[in-house]
Structure 1
């Protein structure tokens, strides 16, 4: 049987599948009709139509099915080849820049004109170098200028202001130049007025003072513009003396001294809180006990070793000694003391029995009466070879080394009065006792400790209560109670100050009002009040704190968000930031500052374009001074590529002389330089050193102090206070050394994101670097001569890192003359 085509349309299949005989009959019959030409026309036409329709329909459906299948296959192949669309759907990026993408409009012709004017109007020694011109002509929204010691940055900053105002028409009220201290502000204002006058643009003192600011004097007007704060006073500026003009808003950010006007508020807040808050009272008790408690002595201390031998003898005479001391205190009207139960108890020391005089239930501590220094030191008991004072000293030493009970040792009648007032909670001068936070060099009145610790935390941009809540201390560590009390006190102090009339607020609180965590407050500021932050030029930027950085960034973001409407009708448009600094001169980490923000400038102040300028010429010192200072500081992390070169006329090079501490020899050498007409800086690390050396240089001090201020050639300052100064001869007294470890500062440093990841002691390690930078600052004050007198390290400090460890052997820029 023949096979029909598998592709035959269904309509034709019945004919093809007829039996063979029927199919032959049909063909024969059809052939015959065709020969007779016998056709039924209508049937044929109908058949033709039906066949056409059925064939057309079948063909269309068949073709459609085949074409569709073929087309889909081809289409799939084309899409797989040509479709490059991503299957992901990322969101648009965020423009987090602080500035618009713009450039300062400086043409080649304008630059040429400015250089010609500077060449004509400024003396030869004040002509900018090529690097300084790069700073002056920076066109980008942000600029960082690395300016080492003696780099001549002040003149460059003045010319930058002249460029913006005189040549480009930027209004002065759109700019702020920030200096760090009153002294540097005064010097810069004078230089600015002098240069503007040369260009025929007299600048009044008031106008100059509006432009040149400290951070503090810029934030206070911001806050005073808020409703209800028009007469706001800064806590740091409170004084019993009347304010002189805008000096009231121009304080030193690193002055920690508390005056009487400030202390009145601290004391009033303390006593009010102590009366109403039981938790605060409970937190204060262990602090009081700790402050009064006899301080421990190591058992290998020489005094302990010497007096251990007479322990048994001292115990035999102890009851009689107690009787004598109680009689002295009773006659002085200082015993008994309210709050101290006069109850003798025995204490065992190395197997021998000694006695206490009383017990303070509130503090759970025992009391021993001492020998008041106003009594006759020769007083002795009948039959005793030792004076009462000497017997008492032996007992005290033994208790310090071997007694582990909480013991309050009253050294004088006056100290007893302080204890009494402290226990009563009514001390007119505050809590009435000192405290020492771990890591600090010395104890201080409790409220002074509160101010210092809170200031450090807030300078790091942290809230005191939040930071305290994240701290961890050992259960028996008194610092645990100190910070609990601080948290309660600091919140109460803020409220107390704001309740005054007029209200009072700390500068740190003001900066936090306009920081990155409170951007909504900017909506309360007018354009006029915000506009001076548009074009910022900041000196000494290496000493900026996280708190200040947050304020600067928040201000710049707000200015950008307000857009062109803020600058309508004005020559100054948009915003810019130019920061000048030297990370090698960052020496205020103990107050919460950090060079991080200068070292990582591009990251901390994101900009569509930024410039970096390196001022490496030193116009102050000769090359040996420069090389010696840089050798010391290179062990600390620093901006890469720094190397200063002495500029100007060739100078005689002399090494930095390193000598053993010799106050008489120092005085003789200092006198010789004074006779030769040199200017002199005497720099010291401790105030006690100043007192010691003054005994030797008193004749020179007396002569110099009688001269007019501008003619004086001797200045005595701390290393820190010498920044920005210079002298022909510099005398450095004392090493730069990190002596302590601060558990709480290490903790808050980590909270603030400072230090390296994983570093458990970021603050301590930062301070070790800072000791090197402090030595760099001291040495680079010298123009010609530098003498460094180094003490022999005591036992406590023998292993502590110090700057003098970096003094090399065999280098021409150091002469190590120590024995």
Structure 2
């Protein structure tokens, strides 16, 4: 049987191996008793003991030809030559912001291919994004052309890959998976989605599969139905208020008055909902129920037997704000607010309070749970910044767990559920849903897999699958050069090590010249929230052991002046990092301090206009989408002029998406803050082996460091000018970590003008 021929039994075996077959547990208990390994097996031998054949005479010849063919500004520094000429199987390159690493990587590739005769087919350069891949291909073609090496765009594209584009052909070589599609790229062309495998947003094509699997599981699994019912009630239930809350104490005094006219209020609201066409709601029995609240008798409008919960109708925002019942002293909206507050403080029964007609429609969709419309309600995992549709939250949470190299169901079963609070039920439902969903994807015609499932299929835990990959496809993993290595995830690390091990195993002759060159900067590791880990770059020698390892520090900064560099490095000073790092600017550059202001959008807009008039390129970086809207309002006319000019000298981006870019003037809007304490993420870090013994907040600790690194990345985008507009920390507790707390007004590289405006 050929590797690409259909083999449904293979897919079924693969599905059972990756996702398991599990018996349902009782509600309230951990789903899985199996404990995932906190660490991967002992790292296998990845490299034989060999040395790249680069004698002194050849190195001098290469340097002479580079001096002759590349312009003066592109000539490598001494440190960059050490990277280009590394002779060991493993090479770690620490490249700070603005270090000029791209040309060095291209020259390294040129040395291997042109001067040493290594086939391009045995070499892969890995970039993290499609944009960086396209940029590298362009530079590679330009440099190779100077040596009269004619490559097509397609030939260069075979060498320069993202992790995901290199992985997919290997998976498609397995039995029955020749046409497998990646879940993350479904519907991309049809709906204009980004196609970025790191994009956590779910599009319509992906949601259709999630909804179909959800509906099927809800129909056949009683425990899953129970868990979903509890989550649904949790999502729609009226949030409690403490009886000592000021609003509660104020409205308690009118309890008797409000209770005396409550039935009239109920009649009016039911009429409004009926005439709006959203009452009664299917799944809710429309019956009045009298309940005692703070000694007064109030009424509910309906009952949901499935949830054992009462329903109260509210005043939709479309209603007349001044509407008042005859003889009442308060408008209807105020009467309703009194009742709502009293119920929040004194109702001890499950209660769903519908504030809007839209909520009523969503509740109807949620109660019609067997339809392919999906759950119909949102869920906010503790520590997340916002709620998301339940299945989106499932996918994001599962992705985080898998990125850290863990099986979702096994990891959830091994968590301390006493620490998880309300999230325990959500995670137990996810533990049932996720393996079912992966199996459901496998059964599609053609099969579908998430990228995480693909990495696991060819990872260290499944060497028998990698053994089925043809030599012609695996050959490209012989010599790897990986950019932005600080953002790699444990899941991808397992795949890289497995590939290097398998290439070495197949080698007929010794030494098997596998090699790995990784370029990164631990100060720019800013994707821990999605499962990346700087650990593998910090512990490179231990995670990728070799007989000899070369470590190169690229400290020269070709972008910014020294004050920008010093200010950024001061921000990350408390962060655990590799030793000996300090960026050095080119000599003779004028220095201007990073200026820090209290948030003032009008002042920011004035400074942007001044830099635009001066002909500068400008980056405006924001932390929240609401900040982008406010800035756009202040600068709408200038942005329209800039866009129509064709130059596009102004760009508005998030802090994260600005990575790799630069501008003459950079404006930072908003602080880098961390306040959340997500219990499940701390548990995942513990299970993945990223916590110290007894440490309960490993993820929180990592995120407090990551906000400082994010500020470092933002500041180092600046070539000459950097302005930082920060909101005052009013009402925030000391537990909220803020990068701006690291601003030091007594340092020459900061000018802290907060309070002086």
Aligned length: 714
Partner Cα distance (2:752, 2:231) in 1: 47
Gaps of 5+ in 2: 1-41
Whether 2:625 is the aligned partner of 1:681: answer: no
Determine if contact 2:420/2:680 at 8 Å carries over to the other structure: no
| Change beyond 3 A, Cα 1:150–1:699 | same
Residue 380 (structure 1) shift: 1.6
Alignment of 1:139-178 (within 5 A): 139-178=87-126
Determine if contact 1:267/1:429 at 8 Å carries over to the other structure: yes
Q: Specify which structure has the bigger relative contact order, considering alpha-carbon pairs within 8 angstroms and separated by 6 or more residues.
A: 2
Which deviations, in whole Å up to 9, do the C-alpha atoms of 1:455-506 show, x marking residues without a partner?
A: 0011011111111111232499432221121122111111211111111111
Determine if contact 1:625/1:655 at 8 Å carries over to the other structure: yes
Alignment partner of 1:626 out of 562, 565, 569:
565
Partner Cα distance (1:395, 1:799) in 2: 35
Alignment partner of 2:56 out of 105, 108, 111:
108
Q: TM (normalized to structure 2)?
A: 0.91
Question: What is residue 387 of structure 1 aligned with on the other side?
Answer: 331
Which deviations, in whole Å up to 9, do the C-alpha atoms of 1:726-756 show, x marking residues without a partner?
A: 0000000000011211111111111111132
Question: What is residue 526 of structure 2 aligned with on the other side?
Answer: 587
Partner SS, residue 564 of structure 1? coil
Partner SS, residue 467 of structure 2? helix
Question: What is residue 233 of structure 2 aligned with on the other side?
Answer: 289
Alignment partner of 1:725 out of 661, 667, 684:
661
- Once the two structures are overlaid, the 10-residue window that deviates more, 676-685 or 756-765, is 756-765
Partner SS, residue 553 of structure 2? strand
Whether 2:136 is the aligned partner of 1:188: answer: yes
| Change beyond 3 A, Cα 1:240–1:764 | closer
Whether 2:577 is the aligned partner of 1:638: answer: yes
Partner Cα distance (1:628, 1:802) in 2: 16
Question: What is residue 10 of structure 1 aligned with on the other side?
Answer: none
Alignment partner of 1:617 out of 542, 556, 559:
556
Determine if contact 1:182/1:251 at 8 Å carries over to the other structure: no
Determine if contact 2:188/2:195 at 8 Å carries over to the other structure: no
Partner SS, residue 732 of structure 1? strand
Question: What is residue 660 of structure 1 aligned with on the other side?
Answer: 598
Question: What is residue 610 of structure 2 aligned with on the other side?
Answer: 672
Alignment partner of 2:298 out of 354, 357, 373:
354
Alignment partner of 1:439 out of 371, 376, 383:
383
Residue 415 (structure 1) shift: 1.8
Question: What is residue 600 of structure 1 aligned with on the other side?
Answer: 539
Question: What is residue 165 of structure 2 aligned with on the other side?
Answer: 217
| Change beyond 3 A, Cα 1:601–1:497 | same
Alignment of 1:534-613 (within 5 A): 534-564=478-508, 574-613=513-552
Determine if contact 2:655/2:714 at 8 Å carries over to the other structure: yes
Which deviations, in whole Å up to 9, do the C-alpha atoms of 1:541-571 show, x marking residues without a partner?
A: 000000000001111111111123599xxxx
Alignment partner of 1:712 out of 619, 631, 648:
648
Residue 272 (structure 1) shift: 1.2
Residue 309 (structure 1) shift: 4.7
Q: TM (normalized to structure 1)?
A: 0.84
Question: What is residue 738 of structure 2 aligned with on the other side?
Answer: 802
Alignment partner of 2:410 out of 452, 462, 466:
466
- Once the two structures are overlaid, the 10-residue window that deviates more, 200-209 or 351-360, is 351-360
- Once the two structures are overlaid, the 10-residue window that deviates more, 194-203 or 535-544, is 194-203
- Once the two structures are overlaid, the 10-residue window that deviates more, 374-383 or 632-641, is 374-383
Question: CA RMSD of the aligned region, Å?
Answer: 2.0
| Change beyond 3 A, Cα 1:334–1:210 | same
Whether 2:641 is the aligned partner of 1:703: answer: yes
Alignment of 1:455-534 (within 5 A): 455-474=399-418, 477-534=421-478
Determine if contact 2:185/2:197 at 8 Å carries over to the other structure: no
Determine if contact 1:498/1:504 at 8 Å carries over to the other structure: yes
Alignment partner of 2:287 out of 323, 339, 343:
343
Partner SS, residue 524 of structure 1? coil
Partner SS, residue 682 of structure 1? strand
Partner Cα distance (1:306, 1:143) in 2: 68
Which deviations, in whole Å up to 9, do the C-alpha atoms of 1:513-555 show, x marking residues without a partner?
A: 1111111112101111111000000000000000000001111
Partner SS, residue 508 of structure 2? helix
| Change beyond 3 A, Cα 1:428–1:302 | farther
Determine if contact 1:736/1:804 at 8 Å carries over to the other structure: yes
Determine if contact 1:739/1:797 at 8 Å carries over to the other structure: no
- Once the two structures are overlaid, the 10-residue window that deviates more, 471-480 or 312-321, is 471-480
Residue 446 (structure 1) shift: 0.3
Residue 227 (structure 1) shift: 2.1
- Once the two structures are overlaid, the 10-residue window that deviates more, 697-706 or 129-138, is 697-706
Question: What is residue 314 of structure 1 aligned with on the other side?
Answer: 258
Partner SS, residue 116 of structure 1? helix
Partner Cα distance (1:542, 1:307) in 2: 55
Which deviations, in whole Å up to 9, do the C-alpha atoms of 1:383-439 show, x marking residues without a partner?
A: 223221222123223333443432111122232222123223134431111111111
Determine if contact 2:459/2:498 at 8 Å carries over to the other structure: yes
| Change beyond 3 A, Cα 1:301–1:706 | farther
Instruction: Flag the structure with larger Rg.
Output: 1
Partner SS, residue 789 of structure 1? strand
Residue 453 (structure 1) shift: 0.4
Question: What is residue 152 of structure 2 aligned with on the other side?
Answer: 204
| Change beyond 3 A, Cα 1:110–1:302 | farther
Residue 346 (structure 1) shift: 3.8
Determine if contact 1:527/1:566 at 8 Å carries over to the other structure: no
Question: What is residue 78 of structure 2 aligned with on the other side?
Answer: 130
Which deviations, in whole Å up to 9, do the C-alpha atoms of 1:77-119 show, x marking residues without a partner?
A: xxxxxxxxxxxxxxxxx99431000000001010000000110
Alignment partner of 1:227 out of 175, 199, 215:
175
Residue 304 (structure 1) shift: 4.4
| Change beyond 3 A, Cα 1:754–1:251 | farther
Alignment of 1:47-86 (within 5 A): none
Partner SS, residue 680 of structure 2? helix
Question: What is residue 239 of structure 1 aligned with on the other side?
Answer: 187
Partner Cα distance (2:357, 2:510) in 1: 67
Determine if contact 1:181/1:253 at 8 Å carries over to the other structure: no
Determine if contact 1:240/1:260 at 8 Å carries over to the other structure: no
Partner Cα distance (1:732, 1:403) in 2: 46
| Change beyond 3 A, Cα 1:628–1:545 | same
| Change beyond 3 A, Cα 1:206–1:300 | farther
Residue 797 (structure 1) shift: 5.7
Determine if contact 2:685/2:691 at 8 Å carries over to the other structure: yes
Which deviations, in whole Å up to 9, do the C-alpha atoms of 1:131-179 show, x marking residues without a partner?
A: 0000000000000001000001111101000000010011111011011
Partner Cα distance (1:151, 1:298) in 2: 55
Whether 2:598 is the aligned partner of 1:650: answer: no
Question: What is residue 357 of structure 2 aligned with on the other side?
Answer: 413
Determine if contact 2:479/2:514 at 8 Å carries over to the other structure: yes
Partner SS, residue 674 of structure 2? coil
Partner Cα distance (1:115, 1:240) in 2: 45
Which deviations, in whole Å up to 9, do the C-alpha atoms of 1:308-335 show, x marking residues without a partner?
A: 5544433333232122112212233322
Partner SS, residue 104 of structure 1? coil
Alignment of 1:732-751 (within 5 A): 732-751=668-687
Partner SS, residue 196 of structure 2? coil
| Change beyond 3 A, Cα 1:402–1:805 | farther
Which deviations, in whole Å up to 9, do the C-alpha atoms of 1:40-87 show, x marking residues without a partner?
A: xxxxxxxxxxxxxxxxxxxxxxxxxxxxxxxxxxxxxxxxxxxxxxxx
Tell me which stretches of 4 or more aligned residues in structure 1 moved more than 6 Å: none
More helix by share: 1
Partner Cα distance (2:660, 2:419) in 1: 46
Question: What is residue 322 of structure 2 aligned with on the other side?
Answer: 378
